[in-house]
Amino acid sequence: MTDSNLAPVALFVYNRLDNTRRTLAALANNHLAPETELYIFSDGGRDERSWRAVNAVRAFLREFKRTADRDRRFHRVTIIERPENYYLERNITEGIAALFAHHETVIVLEDDICTGPGFLAYMNQAFLLYAEDSRVMHVSGFTHLDLIGEHPALVPSESESYFTPHTAGWGWGTWRDRWQKHFVHYASAAEALAGLTAEDIDRMQYGGAFPCLHSVDHDPIPWDVCWEIAVYRAGGLALTPARTLVRNIGLKGGTHFSVSSRLLQRFVYDRPPLRRVLHLAYRMPEVDPRIEALFAHTIRDWGIRYTWLGRLLRAAKHAWLRRKG
């Protein structure tokens, strides 16, 4: 059971020591960290090499817990060490289920999500504001847009947020009643897409600009794809900040974005998290079509924009392929 009134954080880690260290350092700098319970779910290795990396992460986590408990950096730190490789989907879905046995709300992070200092305050305030409004099924800490800096006219000053059907999975949270009622970890693409029309799929993917269902035929189907579908089926919405409160550090130096590729391209939405606390107040949950259009424009081509060198190399590649064909 819990003796904290705030939502707990579930952090899911695997074998990336530096990312885990940076993620925890950023989370500990949140204003509400000393009042927040932190559960760290450490997945097991797949082979001897990955177990070595996992064990290095676990050694760091044990030392982190020791110093965090001593310095009261969190209300409580609990480490759950998986005895085998659960894989990301099972680790996350079973971890969320375990916390919902004792908590009404949960905040979810992975080991490459660095939060701004106001992230926990925003999440907890959102949970309170929309606790009785089941139309809001998801609270995002990430947004692809910078409405505060680039489109301030679209953001009311009393509540720097907006609603969208899209459930961003980089630093997010939800309520127990909504998750338990609607989440299904679909076993196949046929099951996941059953009853959805071509128009539904097109709407979910913003006319092809955002192919969020591209991995629906994976085994297992990613948990975030299942949740995206569940929220859409229920007619739910995600409360989303008007500027991102998190940054995915896996975009740089991780599997997504190598050093060489940064010379050729960038993610247009890769920006530092907002440093101050976001202003939030209850608003009627409804979608602003102007913001949806901005999102569709921003996310086209996965949000990748090419540098002059990248454009030159792409043009040369396409010319070579035309000659070869």
> How do residues 238-263 score in pLDDT, each as one tens digit?
999 999 999 999 875 443 344 445 56
Q: Is residue 67 part of a domain?
A: yes
Q: Is residue 50 part of a domain?
A: yes
Range of the domain at 220: 9-324
Q: Number of folded domains in the chain? A: 1
Alpha-carbon gap, residue 286 to 292, rounded angstroms: 11
Confidence band of 305 (pLDDT split at 50, 70, 90): low
Q: Which of 14-18, 24-28, 79-83, 293-297 has the lowest mean pLDDT?
A: 293-297
pLDDT tens digits, residue range 126-147?
999 999 999 999 999 999 999 9
Per-residue pLDDT for 103 more than 70?
Answer: yes
Confidence at residue 208, expressed as pLDDT on a 0 to 100 scale = 83
Q: Is 186 exposed, middle or buried (0-12, 13-18, 19+ CB in 10 A)?
A: middle
Q: Is residue 114 part of a domain?
A: yes
Confidence at residue 256, expressed as pLDDT on a 0 to 100 scale = 39
User: Averaged over 291-305, what is the pLDDT?
Assistant: 83
Confidence at residue 83, expressed as pLDDT on a 0 to 100 scale = 97
Q: Is residue 1 part of a domain?
A: no
Per-residue pLDDT for 269 more than 60?
Answer: yes
Confidence at residue 325, expressed as pLDDT on a 0 to 100 scale = 61
Confidence band of 314 (pLDDT split at 50, 70, 90): low
Confidence at residue 170, expressed as pLDDT on a 0 to 100 scale = 96
User: Averaged over 228-244, what is the pLDDT?
Assistant: 97
Angstrom distances, CA of residue 316 to CA of 41, 263, 271, 311: 46, 16, 30, 9
pLDDT tens digits, residue range 161-184?
999 999 999 999 999 999 999 999
User: Averaged over 211-218, what is the pLDDT?
Assistant: 88
Q: Is residue 3 part of a domain?
A: no
Token pair listed for 225: 């794809």
Per-residue pLDDT for 110 more than 50?
Answer: yes
Residue type, 18: D
Q: Is residue 2 part of a domain?
A: no
Token pair listed for 157: 């000053």
Q: Return all residues near 146 (Cβ < 8 A) that are at least 6 apart.
A: 242, 243, 244, 271
Confidence at residue 1, expressed as pLDDT on a 0 to 100 scale = 43
Helix or strand or coil: residue 8? coil
Alpha-carbon gap, residue 193 to 257, rounded angstroms: 31
Higher per-residue pLDDT: 208 or 325: 208
Q: Which range among 3-12, 213-222, 238-247 has the greatest average pLDDT?
A: 238-247
List the CATH number of the domain containing 60: 3.90.550.10
Q: Is residue 294 part of a domain?
A: yes
Q: Is residue 4 part of a domain?
A: no
User: Averaged over 180-205, what is the pLDDT?
Assistant: 94
Per-residue pLDDT for 266 more than 80?
Answer: no
Confidence at residue 47, expressed as pLDDT on a 0 to 100 scale = 96
Global pTM reads: 0.90
Confidence at residue 299, expressed as pLDDT on a 0 to 100 scale = 85
Confidence at residue 265, expressed as pLDDT on a 0 to 100 scale = 62
